[in-house]
Structure 1
Amino acid sequence: MNTLPKINIESPVVTQGSILFPAYKKIKSDSLLLAQQIENIEVTEENVKQSKKLLAAVNKEVKNLESERILIKKEMLEPYNEFEKQVKEIVSIVKTADEMVRQQVTQMEEEEREDKKLVLKRMFEKRIRMYDFKTYFTFDDFLENRYLNKSLSINKIESEMVEWLTKIETELKAIETMPHADEIIAEYKETKDLAVSAQIVSDRHKAQELIKEAKNDIKDDQLHTKITFTLFDEKDVKLVEMFMQQNKIKFEKVEK
């Protein structure tokens, strides 16, 4: 890559502007005196027209002075406005070029991430073929966004991949020894967490047992139209409520 030329920033030459206003003190003094006199005027029906003419004349002079101020400000700002325009033009040129390069860098980095992803996918598919659970999990189950970062080497990721596959194999073997193994495996495919998966299935069956007991109590006493059973665990209460609602069973909750 060729060395980029440098932009040598030389400070612009600034000539300090000045505005001479020698009549300032006299005009200010006259204005104070005029303002005092205006404040002391007592407007009556006899002098109202004269008062209006006086105010109109005063306001005309003030307006002329204000117009002069605006004109001078515009003239003083003209050099700065031209300088600002030139600077913005230069900044725009550099920013446009900078954005083009940034887009190319981003595109290149995305291509590198995709290439790395392909390498990892081939590695994963090659390794998972040696495991019995090869049809349970895919590369997407293993992939984490950080694996595609340039800072993480292929060797490091391969080491974590082996650990991940070994963990899956060990936990699946443990699941096979548990009650309701098929259900736990189904949950495990989603959670990748043995403890969480086993707890979900256990809670589900516990709720089903509670409902079954409640139904048996109803069958034992057909004369009663209402059955009351007591749950001591708040978690059991929520599980029973959920089962009742899902199966559209009418029930009444009485809290004591």
Structure 2
Amino acid sequence: MELRITNPEENGFLKEIQWNQEEVKSWVAARVQDYKTIAYTADQAKDMKRDRADLNKLKAAFEDERKRLKKVCMEPYNRFEQQVKEITALIDEPIQLIDSQLSEIEERRKQLKQKEIEDLFGTIGFQDFITLERIMDPKWLNATVSLNKIEEQMKNLLFRVGTEVSTINSLPEFSFEALENYKKTLDLNMAIAEGQRLADIQKRKQQYEEEQKRIAEEKARQEAEELTAKQQEGDETVKEATPVNETVIVREEPVATDLIQLDFRVFGTREQIMALRNYMIENQIKFGKVE
């Protein structure tokens, strides 16, 4: 069957719209030239608006004629286009039926290929945290990708995962946390970065705790010195006892035939120091402040 155009014939289509283009063009050019030379003043706003309206009216006249001729020229084509679409719609119906059957055949093929891939996955021996869904490449379902190729890619992945797990287990710190991250991402660099991040947090925590301990010790030392100073100011007798936090000087030398001298530091509460003072007085032990 041949599609034949009987009217118009091939050389019968409208090839040019003939009109007095040059005459109209010259007339319009001369007219707009007058407007180009007009120097309007601020009090001529009404004249400016009137001239603009005249020019827009002239332009609209040409545009209206252009649109009218376009509609006339397009009317036969639009009818022809609609007639052709009615015929192609008849052809589209069996095409769609064939496409539907082809889609069903392709879907059954993919389902069979999916089952073969699942069976192959079970023979590779992947780690427990590796599932087929995580490593499945949609391209594996293409008819052009063979099972041998898929098996090769699976084994390469198995080897890579094993190597990377060994690398993570060899980390000096936080290898467990890094491995847990790797199980979720299968990304070695990300897992190592996570392990390093946790290690840095632990170091900062340790530094913080050490600094807090140092601050607490310094505060305790200052409080002890302040307490000693207050005790010395409030009790002259306690001042004669060895004050808390004085420099330790330990020496032992004979003072008399049966006496020795021993300087030392005592830490205790006010009650304990008073009790020690009373003990030394009761036992006639001579004591005094260490200069």
C-alpha distance in 1 between matches for 2:13 and 2:189? 79
Distance of aligned partners of 1:187 and 1:13 in 2 relative to their CA distance in 1, 3 Å threshold: same
Output the amino acid matched with 2:85. Answer: K
SS in 1 for 2:210: helix
2:4 aligns with one of 6, 11, 15: 11
1:115 aligns with one of 109, 112, 115: 112
2:141 maps to 1:148: yes
- Any gaps of 5 or more consecutive residues in structure 2? 15-19, 21-67, 220-291
Which residue of structure 2 lines up, in the alignment, with residue 168 of structure 1? 161
2:80 maps to 1:86: no
Deviation, 1:212, is 3.1
- TM-score of the pair, normalised by structure 1: 0.53
C-alpha distance in 1 between matches for 2:77 and 2:189? 71
Which residue of structure 2 lines up, in the alignment, with residue 137 of structure 1? 130
- Any gaps of 5 or more consecutive residues in structure 1? 1-7, 19-24, 26-69, 225-256
Using CA pairs under 8 Å that are at least 6 residues apart, name the structure with larger relative contact order, 1 or 2. Answer: 1
C-alpha distance in 2 between matches for 1:142 and 1:165? 10
**Deviation digits for residues 171-227 of structure 1 (CA, Å, limit 9, x no counterpart):** 223333333332222111122232331221111221232133124313321488xxx
2:191 maps to 1:197: yes
SS in 2 for 1:12: coil
Which residue of structure 2 lines up, in the alignment, with residue 32 of structure 1? none
Count how many residue pairs are aligned between Structure 1 and Structure 2.
165
Output the amino acid matched with 1:195. Answer: N
Deviation, 1:17, is 8.9
Deviation, 1:156, is 0.8
Which residue of structure 2 lines up, in the alignment, with residue 218 of structure 1? 212
C-alpha distance in 1 between matches for 2:136 and 2:195? 26
- TM-score of the pair, normalised by structure 2: 0.47
Distance of aligned partners of 1:88 and 1:198 in 2 relative to their CA distance in 1, 3 Å threshold: same
Which residue of structure 1 lines up, in the alignment, with residue 122 of structure 2? 125
2:95 maps to 1:98: yes
RMSD: 3.4
Identity percentage of aligned residues: 24
Query: Contact between 1:125 and 1:139, CA under 8 Å: does it hold in 2?
Result: no
C-alpha distance in 2 between matches for 1:165 and 1:118? 20
The within-5 A match list for 1:231-242 is none
Deviation, 1:155, is 0.8
C-alpha distance in 1 between matches for 2:75 and 2:207? 91
Deviation, 1:80, is 5.1
2:150 aligns with one of 133, 154, 157: 157
Runs of 4+ in 1 over 4 A off after TM superposition: 76-82
SS in 1 for 2:3: coil
Distance of aligned partners of 1:212 and 1:103 in 2 relative to their CA distance in 1, 3 Å threshold: farther
